[in-house]
Structure 1
């Protein structure tokens, strides 16, 4: 199996270009990030070329203080579209494969309509890139609009764009719904990216209530060949937490 280092959590003490270099030195096959916009895209692109690592994806901006995305916020259409444009431009400059469009804190029919509108805009503007949506658990992100894979599945069907896919984060799915591997199997045609972390502490995927060796087996059986995102909080020096990586890569 192949793995991507999520640099929103790993090697956060380093600049983003140096975190890319650290991921390459550690043996990761790709990188991804959260909000890279304070770093010149040219610097990131140079580090990617130097290391040979692809950038899998990045998020649209959170918005203002206390926000967690703009796309499902009624009355914020122009800002949501500007955030999508910003993310797609950065993705173009760094050859990132996907953009995660963040919904934000909102509920109700107006929020649903706003999110669908923003996603249709993003999918039309993506120029061959994948647009991702990710359900977040209500412990870490109370009030976030997108909460379950069933909700995401319905939205993907409603938008009807072939480049709109599900970001299947095993950590969030386990906390909200459980039954992770059966959901992986059933939702496979809709999944654009898989992420992992231990449950419930969001540490490295080598402990906790999810049996990740079994998850690796299921993904292998499903012929999942894209890098799996390691989006976990190391709680210490990142390099000291990578014992799980070698065994998982050998599968």
Structure 2
């Protein structure tokens, strides 16, 4: 059975931030991820992880732009200098929190120049930080209109072009269902490249309940996937009420 992590940005957010680590551990999660930890005091996060015996599995990068800009811009040519500057800040967080994976967000862009920029930035950041694992993730156009990376085949091609041993695929069942419908077929196509898995049910990104997710977990076991599976969804009511899917 895979190791399960809780996305503390979406789960347990009925509790204060510091308490979410306690709640995740009490619910039998072994790891956590935080989409954007950059406004939280690093020492407090480190202490919470240590006290609860949790691993920080993943953070997003670059940090979001709170002035109205997009959250990612690795594929935005005019933001290339800022990308490199901000990624240095990201790596300070990643090292302090001992983050396993850093998700590099492409941002909203299109065309050949955006493709070339994304490739160049990914080559740069993976070469600059060879001991850090990075991921890329296609996002569906309903939730993220205009997002550059929006297709699973596109992501696989980009991984081949970058050809970095510390860059892999971030597989999200919700986005797979929204983009391509058949989650199992997309898993079969991408599994050789997958470093991290996130789960949520389409069409509303709710709890991963039902036989389809039992089958998906069984497939992960059968295929020998030994990475993290992170619960990244919007609970229908409270987080605790919706955890019936989590193996005990």
Normalising by structure 2, we get a TM-score of 0.94
How far apart, CA to CA, are the structure 2 residues paired with 1:181 and 1:83?
36
Aligned counterpart for 2:175 among listed residues 172, 176, 186: 172
Aligned counterpart for 2:104 among listed residues 79, 101, 106: 101
Runs of 4+ in 1 over 6 A off after TM superposition: none
Residues 115-134 of structure 1 correspond to what in structure 2 (within 5 A)?
A: 115-134=118-137
Residue 24 of structure 1 contacts residue 53 of structure 1 at CA under 8 Å; is this kept in 2?
A: yes
Residue 4 of structure 1 contacts residue 227 of structure 1 at CA under 8 Å; is this kept in 2?
A: yes
How far apart, CA to CA, are the structure 2 residues paired with 1:106 and 1:62?
16
In the TM superposition, what is the alpha-carbon distance from 1:79 to its structure 2 partner? 1.1
Query: What does residue 59 of structure 2 align with?
Result: 58
2:221 pairs with 1:240: no
Structure 2: unaligned runs, 5 residues or longer: none
Residue 62 of structure 1 contacts residue 102 of structure 1 at CA under 8 Å; is this kept in 2?
A: no
In the TM superposition, what is the alpha-carbon distance from 1:203 to its structure 2 partner? 0.4
Query: What does residue 6 of structure 1 align with?
Result: 7
Query: What does residue 198 of structure 2 align with?
Result: 195
In the TM superposition, what is the alpha-carbon distance from 1:22 to its structure 2 partner? 1.2
Indicate the SS of the match to 2:177. Answer: helix
Query: What does residue 205 of structure 1 align with?
Result: 208
Q: Please provide the CA RMSD for this pair.
A: 1.5
**How many matched pairs?**
245
How far apart, CA to CA, are the structure 2 residues paired with 1:82 and 1:121?
12
In the TM superposition, what is the alpha-carbon distance from 1:163 to its structure 2 partner? 0.6
How far apart, CA to CA, are the structure 2 residues paired with 1:223 and 1:76?
39
1:34-91 Cα offsets, whole Å, 9 max, x none, are 0011111111111111111111110012334141301111111111112222221111
Indicate the SS of the match to 2:48. Answer: helix
Query: What does residue 226 of structure 1 align with?
Result: 227
In the TM superposition, what is the alpha-carbon distance from 1:149 to its structure 2 partner? 1.1
Normalising by structure 1, we get a TM-score of 0.93
Greater CA drift, 15-24 or 1-10: 15-24
Structure 1: unaligned runs, 5 residues or longer: none
Query: What does residue 73 of structure 2 align with?
Result: 70
